[in-house]
Amino acid sequence: MNRSRFIQQAIGLGPIWESREGWFADHPAEISRQALIQAHHDQAIAELHQPASTATATAPAVQPAAPILASEKDKPQPVSPATTVLPAVASPIGQIPSWEQLEQTVANCERCTLCRTRTQTVFGRGNPQARWMLIGEAPGEHEDRQGEPFVGKAGQLLDNMLAAAGLDRDRDVYIANVLKCRPPGNRNPAPEEILACQGYLQQQIQHVRPVLIVALGRFAVQTLLQSEQAIGKLRGQVHQYQGIPLIATYHPAYLLRNLPDKAKAWQDMVLAKQQFSRLTQTA
Ligand code: URA
C-alpha cells in the first residue's frame, strides 16, 4: 500500500472526515513513519532554535513534492502589497483595547463596504484563553446568519479534524477569520477588505497569545505570513507569526472539494500536535 493510501485509510477518508477515536494516540509512530513527519519535526525544532526573523523563511529539511495544483484556488495568487502590511512587531497588550471593546468595535465596524451587505459581524468563537488559535478566511452564508465562524459544512469538517486531533472546538481552540464580514456571494476577500480588517485579527491574536496558530487556507496563510507562495509550498513546515509558531494548511472548504488533500491536512495536524507537545512540555 502506498503512503498516501495508508494515511487515507488510517484517517477514515470519506465524504467527510471521520475520525477514529483513539487512533491518533495508539499509532503515533506509525503515522509519523509513514508520513515522514519526523523529518519535518527535526526541521521544526531547528527553526524553533533560530531567531524568529530567520526562521520564517527557512526552507524545509525535506522539500515537499511539487504541489499538485488541484484547483485554480490552489495556484499561487498575487497578493497586492495592501494585504501584506501586518505590522512586524506587536504592540504591548496594554496599548490595545480590551477584548470586549474590540468585540464592540468590530460589531460596529464600517471600515469597508462589506458592512453594507452583512447581516452581522463574526468576531470569533471558542476559548479566548485557548493555547491553539485557528484562523480562517471569512464568514460564509451560515456564519453571517448565525454570527459564529465555521458553522456550515466546512465547519463540520473542521470539528471532525479537531476531534481527530483530540481538540475540543469550544474548550481548546479559539477560531477567528481574516475578515469579520461575509463577502457577498462568498467571493474571495478583496485586498482592501483584508487591509481594513487586519488590525482586528492582529489584536485578537495579541489577546489570545496562543502557543500555536493554525492558518486555514490561502488567505489566512498568505496574510499572516506576508507571502505570495501557494499553500502547497508553505504547508509541512513551521513558520512564525510575531514569534508564535504557525502551521499552514488547507482550508476545510477546499478539502471538501479535493478529498485526496485531506491526507496532507492530516499530516499538518500531526505536525501541529507535535509542535504543541514540544512547546508545552515541562522540563
Ligand atoms: N470559511 C471560513 O474561512 N470561515 C468561516 O467562518 C466559515 C467558512
Identify which of 155, 97, 99 has the alpha carbon closest to the alpha carbon of residue 127: 99
Please give the class, per CATH, of domain 97-283. alpha beta
Identify which of 235, 260, 271 has the alpha carbon closest to the alpha carbon of residue 31: 271
pLDDT value at residue 1: 53
Res 243 pLDDT > 50: yes
Closest ligand 1 atom to residue 142 Cα is 7
Question: Is there a contact between 56 and 239 (Cβ–Cβ < 8 Å)?
Answer: yes
> What are residue 134's DSSP bridge partners?
175, 214
- pLDDT tens per residue across span 91-131: 444 578 999 999 999 999 999 999 999 999 999 999 999 99
Question: Is there a contact between 156 and 143 (Cβ–Cβ < 8 Å)?
Answer: no
Domain segments of the chain as ranges: 97-283
CA 50 vs. chain centroid, Å, equals 22
In the chain, pLDDT over 70 holds for what percent of residues? 66
Report the separation in Å between the CA atom of 50 and the middle of ligand 1, taken as the mean of its atom positions: 33
Report the separation in Å between the CA atom of 106 and the middle of ligand 1, taken as the mean of its atom positions: 17
Nearest CA to ligand 1 atom 7: 150
Report the separation in Å between the CA atom of 124 and the middle of ligand 1, taken as the mean of its atom positions: 10
Question: Is there a contact between 245 and 280 (Cβ–Cβ < 8 Å)?
Answer: no
Cα–Cα distance for residue pair 153/54, rounded to 1 Å = 38
Identify which of 40, 71, 43, 121 has the alpha carbon closest to the alpha carbon of residue 261: 71
Identify which of 270, 223, 230 has the alpha carbon closest to the alpha carbon of residue 250: 230
pLDDT value at residue 220: 98
Kindly list the protein residues whose Cβ atom lies closer than 6 A to any atom of ligand 1.
Answer: 136-140, 143, 149-150, 154, 177, 253
- pLDDT tens per residue across span 43-88: 333 332 333 333 332 222 222 222 222 333 333 333 333 333 343 3
Nearest CA to ligand 1 atom 6: 149
Residue with cell 453571517: 144
pTM for this model (two decimals): 0.72
- pLDDT tens per residue across span 209-224: 999 999 999 999 999 9
Closest ligand 1 atom to residue 177 Cα is 4
